[in-house]
Amino acid sequence: MKNILNKLKTELTSKTNQSGIKTSQRFFKDPINTYGMKSKDIVIISQKYFQLIKNLSKEEMCKLCEVLFKSDMYEEFMIAANWIQKRDKEFISKDIDLYENWINKYVNNWAKCDVFCNHSVGSLVERYPKLIKYPKKWAKSKNLWMRRASAVSLIIPAKNGLFLNDIFEICDILLEDREDMVQKGYGWLLKVTSQINLKMVFDYVMKNKGKMPRTSLRYAIEKMPKDLKEKAMKK
């Protein structure tokens, strides 16, 4: 396993792009550690090295992924998250504690949060509905990325029309959150939910728009018909 990591890190380091580092930073408020690679190149390398780890046990793969998460390099996190996604059917209900630990320790920007939570966490919660109690708990966390995770983990389940009451419960908890990354997270969740349950989301927005940050409001109504948008934005 160590040999695989050494080869991967050597290849990533060889592709360091100073111009790409500056470009990548524009998408984040806080500094990130990155090789400056393009997304398509990260995917190519991820797929290449997945061939070397796809037959490892789940436990061995998780150890490799944790090393990559711990490095705090953007591309390494994305590669590890991609590997987990490719083998997500191997993860079972109790692995939610592992996922929670990884989010709490290693997620420190919106991109890491979304790529891991949209897919792997969302898939696990969808397969084991009783795990919905975890996103509800995360919504009350002091860690802003855990709070964002509580919303974005339900993006794909929401597209499938699942967890409707739970989604509104989580949005209630996050409603007046002061962090814009959290506001955008639950606004995004409401937007996706509106495409399945337009009336319920519109009614929710109208009921709460006096308290809802404008950022969340704009995200939530983005896909709504023009007349409903105008009503929601009217003060």
Exposure class string for 201-225: b at 16+ Cβ within 10 A, else e:
bbebbeebbeebbeebbbbbbeebe
Q: Which one of 90, 110, 137 terminates a domain?
A: 90
Which residue, 37, 71, 90, sits at the end of a domain? Answer: 90
Same domain, 49 and 157: no
Q: Considering its fold, how many domains does the chain have in total?
A: 2
What are the tens digits of pLDDT across the range 151-194?
999 999 999 999 999 999 999 999 999 999 999 999 999 999 99
Q: How large a percentage of the chain has pLDDT more than 90?
A: 97
Could you count the other beta carbons within 10 Å of the beta carbon of residue 58?
Answer: 13
Q: List CB contacts of 222: < 8 A, sequence separation 6 or more.
A: 191
The two structure tokens encoding residue 85: 């996604």
Query: Which burial class, exposed, middle or buried, applies to 84 when counting CB atoms under 10 A from its CB (0-12, 13-18, 19+)?
Result: buried
Query: Residue 145 contacts by C-beta under 8 Å, 6 or more apart in sequence?
Result: 103, 107, 108, 109, 112, 113, 181
| pLDDT one-digit tens code per residue, 89-109 | 999 999 999 999 999 999 999
Answer with the one of 90, 113, 148 that is the final residue of a domain: 90
Domain limits at 126?
95-235
Residues 117 and 207 in one domain: yes
Which among 212, 79, 189 is positioned nearest to 135, based on CA atoms?
Answer: 189
Using an 8 Å Cβ cutoff, are 50 and 34 in contact?
Answer: no
Q: pTM, whole model, 2 decimals?
A: 0.95
